[in-house]
């Protein structure tokens, strides 16, 4: 049978872009469909614009640190409109850049929402095309609990387009998105209140990471309200009134509230049932939440339909941009490059761009103890960075290594503190290669630096 394309990709986010260009480099005829700006969540409303906001949020601390080093600083003021406009301009520039990369790679870009008609046919705005293989890379989207007044809340999609800086922002949710934006908005000068359903923030991370981040957030003036959920939200002259579940908890008044209670695979309207593509449950527990679905795939990102594949957040495996890119390239290598291979989801480093920043790679202490018991040995240090010797601030850095004492292998590395992501990125190479604690000890540290602590812990 003759097809219009060798590969049709649905979704021009990080994973879809990487897969389409790699497949085209092998000589495949490729088209990619996108109904939004090219670039996906990361470029348009995720990693990239968020990191710009992180950078901006650090300037007030630098201004306040400067006198300790003899600098005289005036009264700084944030021009919110200039700030938001500059981010949007850069996002659109990057989106256009990705379009040019597709053109250079020989990938045809089709604007519009694509849906599956059958296992080999896709429809985009009334136009039907056929493809030998189809790749679904549509990512995920924010979700809100089904509770009264949630329609007034913004999500991480809209926070980059606020016309005015919030005076008081209330954030629902204690995952990494909620934590990052709490720290960003506080750094920019807004009053911030964060509401968590449970006792702990950042579930799934090594226990020392949320402990250190929470202490830093509290010290920086973020108010954390734990073990509470929002019962109702209503408009009031001052903005919004949020009534919480705690009997002794007074209602909150805020001019903006951000709903950061999770994301779901963006499977709605894809026509998966038309092509015989199976989904699996992806449940989120809690009041107002419902069960969502993710596309089921095997280790080669292949769905229940042998010629249809899915990568990235829509599969709800490990929802990180570099992972989606890696899965996309592995798919292209396997199906078009005569190099069948899996993408490894083991030892993937990640960061939380909070204040203080955190980064991690490998096993947590809890995971290691569950698997190895008493064989686990922990090396941990906590100190005030040299930079703050003159600022007078009591900021802390924490570093931790999880080691198998039987093999001396470093199983995990975790850090909270300035430049954590930059430091852990290098450490991740050693962990991925199976370095031992003896290897770390034999490595000469760069002095004076915070990073040298990873090779001096005894």
Q: Enumerate the active-site residues.
A: 447
User: How would DSSP label each residue in 278-337?
Assistant: -EEEE---STT---EEEE---TTSB-SSTTEEE-GGGGTSS--HHHHHHHHHHHHHHHHS
Q: Any long-range contacts for 441-449 (C-beta under 8 Å, 24+ apart)?
A: 448/386
What is the Cα gyration radius of the chain? 24
- Is the backbone peptide bond immediately before 249 cis, with ω within 30 degrees of 0? no
Residue 281 in tokens: 């449950």
Residues 6+ apart with CB under 8 A from 404: 368, 372, 375, 376, 377, 411
Task: Tell me which residue of 67, 73, 65 sits closest to 385, measured CA to CA.
Answer: 65
Contact 15/320 with Cβ under 8 angstroms? Answer: no
Alpha-carbon distance 236 to 253, whole Å? 8
User: Tokens at residue 151, please?
Assistant: 């329609």
Residue in the structure block whose two tokens are 């005894």 = 458
- Return d(Cα 38, Cα 102) in angstroms, integer: 10
- Name the region of 6 (left: φ>0; alpha: ψ -120 to 50; beta: rest): alpha
- Which 8-state DSSP code applies to residue 247? T
- Compute how many other C-beta atoms are within 10 angstroms of the C-beta atom of residue 205: 21
Q: Which of 240, 320, 272, 239 is nearest to 13 (CA)?
A: 320
Question: In whole angstroms, what is the distance from residue 196 CA to residue 230 CA?
Answer: 10
380: which 2 tokens?
């941990």
- Could you give the CA distance from residue 419 to residue 451 in angstroms, rounded to a whole number? 9
């Amino acid at each position: 049978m003759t097809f219009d394309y060798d590969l049709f990709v649905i979704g021009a986010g990080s994973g879809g872009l990487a897969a389409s260009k790699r497949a085209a480099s092998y000589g495949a005829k490729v088209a990619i469909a996108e109904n939004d700006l090219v670039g996906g969540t990361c470029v348009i409303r995720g990693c990239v614009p968020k990191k710009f906001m992180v950078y901006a949020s650090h300037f007030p601390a630098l201004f306040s640190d400067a006198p300790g080093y003899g600098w005289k600083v005036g009264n700084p003021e944030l021009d919110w409109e200039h700030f938001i406009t500059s981010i949007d301009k850069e996002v659109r520039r990057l989106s256009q850049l990705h379009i040019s990369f597709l053109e250079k790679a020989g990938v045809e870009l089709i604007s519009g929402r694509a849906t599956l008609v059958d296992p080999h046919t896709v429809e985009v705005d009334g136009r039907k095309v056929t493809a030998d293989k189809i790749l679904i890379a549509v990512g995920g989207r924010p979700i809100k609990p089904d509770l009264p007044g949630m329609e007034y809340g913004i999500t991480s999609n809209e926070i980059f387009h606020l016309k005015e800086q919030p005076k008081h922002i209330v954030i629902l949710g204690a995952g990494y998105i909620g934590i990052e934006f709490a720290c960003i908005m506080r750094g920019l000068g807004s009053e911030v209140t964060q509401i968590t359903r449970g006792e702990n923030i950042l579930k799934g991370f090594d226990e020392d990471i949320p402990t250190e981040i929470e202490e830093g957030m509290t010290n920086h003036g973020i108010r954390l309200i734990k073990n509470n959920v929002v019962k109702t939200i209503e408009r009031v002259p001052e903005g919004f009134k949020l009534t919480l579940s705690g009997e002794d908890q007074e209602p909150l008044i805020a001019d903006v509230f951000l709903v950061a209670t999770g994301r779901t695979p963006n499977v709605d309207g894809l026509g998966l049932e038309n092509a015989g593509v199976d989904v699996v449950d992806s449940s989120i527990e809690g009041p107002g939440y419902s069960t969502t679905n993710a596309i089921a795939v095997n280790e080669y990102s292949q769905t229940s339909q042998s010629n249809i594949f899915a990568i990235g957040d829509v599969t709800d495996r490990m929802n990180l941009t570099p992972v989606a890119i890696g899965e996309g390239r592995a798919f292209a290598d396997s199906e078009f490059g005569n190099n069948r291979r899996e993408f490894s989801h083991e030892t993937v480093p990640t960061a939380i761009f909070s204040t203080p920043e955190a980064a991690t790679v490998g096993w947590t202490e809890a995971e290691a103890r569950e698997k190895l018991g008493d064989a686990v040995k922990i090396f941990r240090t906590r100190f005030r960075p040299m930079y703050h010797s003159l600022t007078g601030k009591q900021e802390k850095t924490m570093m931790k290594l999880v080691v198998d004492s039987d093999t001396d292998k470093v199983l995990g590395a975790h850090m909270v503190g300035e430049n954590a992501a930059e430091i852990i990125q290098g450490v991740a190479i050693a962990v991925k290669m199976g370095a031992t604690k003896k290897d770390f000890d034999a490595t000469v540290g760069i002095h004076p630096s915070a990073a040298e602590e990873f090779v001096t812990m005894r």
